[in-house]
A and B are shown apart, each in its own frame.
Chain A
Amino acid sequence: MNRPVRKVAVACLVLFAALLVNANWLQVGEASDLKTQPTNGRQITERLERERGTILAGDVEIARSTPSNDQYKFQRQYPAGTLYSDITGYYTLFTAAGLERSQDVFLSGDDDRLLASRVTGLFTNKQRRGGSVVTTILPAVQQAAAQALGNRKGAVVALDPSTGAILAMVTSPSYDPSPLASHTEKTATGAYGVLSGDPAQPLLNRATQQTYPPGSTFKLITAAAALSHGRHPDDRVPAPDELALPLSTVRLPNFGGERCGDGETDTLTHALTISCNTAFAQLGINLGAETLRQQAEAFGLNSTFPDFPLQQARSVFPTKLDGAQTAQSAIGQYNVRVTPLQMAEVVAAIANGGTEMKPYLVSELRGPDKKTISRTDPKELGKPVSSDVAAELTTMMESVVTSGTGRKARIDGVSVAGKTGTAEHGTGELPHAWFVGFAPSDAPKVAVAVIVEDGGGEVGTGGAIAAPVAKQVMQAALDTP
């Protein structure tokens, strides 16, 4: 009888072998597939039980995790409410946005650069902790920008032109990320439902995700193309009261029917100072659509900024333009679309002697022990204009602020360079008010782009509505040591 007993024993071993193979397949081979199944709630729990890293603006904690006494161990908090929400984004039970999303690997502690602290954690039986992300945002500038914009829809971007570091990024209306981070599913989804259903689109980061017609601020790019192609700021260019557009019955007037120069011609500097439409439209026709497009693309249009940690919309300069479309595009109308970040980069490049720096929002990554793990080095993105052209443009832009449409951006004792824009978009709508500029113009510390959607509900120009906002933001940046 021992022969069959041995066979049964072998059969039992086969059963156990099958279980062992299956266990290996399940826990190692198939594990990553199982972990990413949509019905697997463990991912959420696991990440909510870790001490997530802090997001900082200077020394200010703008997103942090504090111990909680509910089913998860830590609660994500956004102490400043709406002020930084477009930078931090939000971190919910199910999803994340903004830096919370793009820096998640580091914040959650999964980044390989945190390996050292993880290894010690293995021995000390401590939970894995996330690293901190330090942003380039200066709280005082951010505060000033939010205050200056107020309740009006729009966006403000302030940059350090010499590095590309973003000093402030405000978009309005905004939202408070705290209810979205609630551990109560009902509260979180309820808050998300309200925000996503709001026609004012508070969840939209208008600074990077929304494109607008640049209006007259685009004249900087047209001027840059002209100066780069042999024109001089003192050259007189045709500037009629009304421009007959090629192959079209439409006649392009100046803003408010104003006259530029002598009604026939005007200098380039004066045309920019008073924002003469006909002069720049004709200049665009003369330069040609291709030259304009090349100059625009040199500044970054038709692409997005590389490695930027927030979602971006692509700024566009259209192709295949006829004469009339070229004329309109040259003054920032027709189908030209830019993000406020893009316009801030354009003026920052001019301020930085023609060298455009790559915009960045994260200045430093720190381990859970607060030690610096990596620092962002400023990088050049390109050189859209020569330093001579940049200097000429700067002088022209100073004239805009001292004696032209941008007078409301003047700061006592500081030379400011800038350009206004009043961008029409659809009939029956009030135009968007733009101001782009930098200060001090001789040694720029801050470049800024401001847009107030629909002029904030007022009939008015960029010079009247957006310039004062830009002034306060630049003032705050200059006051920051």
Chain B
Amino acid sequence: MTRPPIPLPPLRRPRSADLTATFAGLPLPQGTDLPPYRRRELVLLVFAGVLATSALAALTFADIGELSLGIFSIGLGFFCLWALAHLAVRRFAPAADPVLLPVVVALNGLGLVMIYRLDLAKSQAAKQAGTHIPPSAAQVQLVWTLLAVIVFVLVLALVRDHRNLARYAYTAGLVGIVGLLLPIVPGIGTSINGARLWLRVGPFSFQPSEVSKIIILIFFAGYLENKRDVLSLASRSVLGVKLPRARDLGPVLMAWLASLGILVVQNDLGSSLLFFGMFMVVLYVATERASWFLIGFVLFMIGAVLAHSMFSHVQVRVDGWLHAFDGDNPSSTSYQLVQGLYGFAAGGMTGTGLGEGHPQKVPFANTDFIMASLGEELGLTGVMAILTMYALIVLRGMRAALGAKDPFGKLLATGLSFTLALQVFVQVGGVMRLIPLTGLTLPFVSYGGSSIVANAAIIALLLRVSDSARRAPEPASDAPLFDPGAVADSPTQVVKTT
């Protein structure tokens, strides 16, 4: 049995204070009714659609020197696709943050245009070389985007209250680990570019770690919601830092070993870093104890040193980062990185303009190095805008976490937002040579099905938490403190104490 849906107050015309609250992302003052969040979302969504269509128009003009009506119908189609997501939010999470979805749509639109732009370059090169023209990546990505919208709608429709997810914490943990291990099963797992991260069914490949990331976070959040009191118990103080009891270290060590395991088995630096960072942050938020960070940092350093000394591919990555321009590196191990940096440099302040640069010179220009492609054609201006959009998503997610009324919701929203931030940092930082290069995708922008589907689910969950955070609190008198029926039907032993 699920909780009874939270009753929505009737809509009325908003007051100016409500508008301020909406855009500041603050929970509404008690007693006020719902302002028209969704109307605002729609306006922003139209703006995102116009942005993507303008980008496509600029690209087409640069490519063939004229504009056709087709561009506007493509833009309209793109808008209608995401309008479905908007309608779902209207229906299932009417009080949710109105900024998150339009920002995602803007990023997705820019990503699709860039993927299409790289398609154009590939087909042009193929024509010149007289070889077979490769299939359009943009078309495939558009299908994945449709799928992502469907997943988005499903998550919003099925998860009517995020707290229900906490009940399946242990199941989620198991499913997540199994998902992570799937690619190493012979027959269905495949290795792409040296990392065994993909499942392949027919022409489609899927990276389950993207989805596992969310499922395992649900486990972390659910587990820590229950264990946070125990974990925050102090045993003794060393040098002024209160260290937890040795036996409570179990889950941290498990997460550490699991992320190292991913690294060893699947050769994926980025994902293991992401898992570890995600767990440490959720642990910190749950226990409010900085000492976990200290322990986590020490473990991370040990893991990093171990990985560097044990795995040659890690050494290659680090060497290619530190000595990118030395010796043969620019034409061998650091080739992609260096070519990407040349792309950024070519873009300069304002960029070459869409269709006017040479982003195709960088290998993996539409996946791992799409930020270099965007940096070249949209320039520093475009890069800063894109980074700001990500920061906006992350901060809106954190707002949802702050407003959430239950620990699980806080942990989930913080974990999801932080993971997104960390992924963007590790991804873009790697491409910009701030940190060593790891293979991660740029959320909503990179070519790749699993990435956009998983990230759409993340946004759906953030909207879900945000929706509950922005509603007026439940009238306490109506809700029973203890609902025996709920416990009887509950699949886990967790007892709700909120």
Contact = CB atoms under 8 A, between A and B. Distances in A.
Contact of A31 (B284, B331, B348, B434): B348
Interface stretch (A21-29, A272-280, A413-421): A21-29
A20 B387 contact: yes
Contacts of B128: 69-71
Interface residues of B, number: 53
Contacts of A37: 325, 330, 338, 342
A16 B389 CA distance: 10
Contact of B398 (A12, A18, A27, A28): A12
A207 B379 CA distance: 47
A41 B330 CA distance: 12
B342 A42 contact: yes
A37 B341 CA distance: 11
Contact of B387 (A11, A16, A39): A16
Contacts, number: 134
Given A23-B380, A27-B345, A16 B425 contact: yes
A2 B402 contact: yes
Contacts of B383: 23, 27
Contact of A71 (B125, B345, B380): B125
Contacts of A28: 348-349, 380
B173 interface: no
B429 A5 contact: no
A116 interface: no
A12 B341 contact: no
Contacts of A6: 398, 402
Nearest to A25: B432
Contacts of B338: 37, 39
B425 A15 contact: yes
Contacts of B341: 26, 34
Contact of B330 (A8, A16, A39): A39
B380 A19 contact: no
Contacts of B401: 5
Contacts of A1: 285-286, 288, 407, 410
Nearest to A10: B398
A287 B394 CA distance: 90
B335 to A, nearest CB: 9
B387 A34 contact: no
Interface in A239-296: none
A200 interface: no
B384 interface: yes
Given A23-B383, A23-B384, A125-B61, A15 B345 contact: no
B380 A24 contact: yes
Nearest to A49: B358
Contacts of A26: 341, 344-345, 375, 432-433
Contact of B285 (A4, A19, A30, A40): A4
Nearest to B340: A26
Given A8-B398, A45-B358, A19 B346 contact: no
A69 B130 CA distance: 12
B417 interface: yes
Contacts of B450: none
Contacts of A320: none
Nearest to A38: B330
A60 interface: no
A19 B434 contact: yes
Interface residues of A, number: 39
Nearest to A30: B345
A35 B346 contact: yes
A1 B388 CA distance: 26
A23 B387 CA distance: 10
Task: Please indicate which of the listed interface residues A6, A19, A28, A70 has the most CB atoms of chain B within 10 Å of its own CB.
Answer: A19
B414 A5 contact: yes
A42 B346 contact: yes
A40 B395 contact: no
A37 B347 CA distance: 15
Residues of A contacting B: mostly: helix
Interface string B366-390: 0000000001000110011001101
B418 interface: yes
A33 B344 CA distance: 12
A12 B395 contact: yes
Nearest to B390: A16
Contacts of B424: 15-16, 19
Contact of B342 (A15, A34, A125): A34
A211 B347 CA distance: 46
Interface string B28-70: 0000000000000000000000000000000001100000000
A67 to B, nearest CB: 13
Interface string A38-76: 011110011000000000000000000000011100000
Contact of A19 (B281, B342, B379, B425): B425
A1 B394 CA distance: 18
A9 B398 contact: yes
Interface in B259-301: 281, 284-286, 288
A105 interface: no
Contacts of A16: 387-388, 390-391, 394, 421, 424-425
Task: Please indicate which of the listed interface residues B331, B346, B425 has the most CB atoms of chain A within 10 Å of its own CB.
Answer: B346
A295 B489 CA distance: 114
B342 A40 contact: yes
Task: Please indicate which of the listed interface residues B62, B330, B383 has the most CB atoms of chain A within 10 Å of its own CB.
Answer: B383
A41 B360 CA distance: 12
A27 B414 contact: no
A3 interface: yes
Contacts of A39: 325, 330-331, 338
A8 B348 contact: no
A12 B349 contact: no
Nearest to B127: A69
B422 interface: yes
Interface in B318-370: 325, 330-331, 338, 341-349, 353, 358, 361
A115 interface: no
Task: Please indicate which of the listed interface residues B325, B343, B344, B347 has the most CB atoms of chain A within 10 Å of its own CB.
Answer: B344
A27 B285 contact: no
B226 to A, nearest CB: 14
B377 to A, nearest CB: 12
Contact of A42 (B284, B358, B432, B433): B358
Contacts of A3: 288
A80 interface: no
Contacts of A27: 344-345, 347-349, 375, 379-380, 383
B180 to A, nearest CB: 24
Contacts of B384: 20, 23-24
B285 A12 contact: no
Interface in B54-108: 61-62
B388 to A, nearest CB: 8
Nearest to B287: A4
B428 interface: yes
Given A3-B288, A28-B348, A23 B398 contact: no
11 contacts: A1-B285, A3-B288, A19-B429, A23-B344, A23-B383, A24-B384, A27-B347, A27-B379, A30-B345, A39-B338, A46-B346
The list of the 6 closest CB pairs from A to B, nearest first, reads A34-B345, A12-B421, A9-B398, A39-B330, A27-B380, A31-B345
Given A1-B407, A16-B390, A23-B380, 6 more contacts: A2-B402, A12-B398, A15-B425, A23-B432, A26-B433, A37-B325
Interface of B: 61-62, 125, 128, 281, 284-286, 288, 325, 330-331, 338, 341-349, 353, 358, 361, 375, 379-380, 383-384, 387-388, 390-391, 394-395, 398, 401-402, 407, 410, 414, 417-418, 421-422, 424-425, 428-429, 432-434
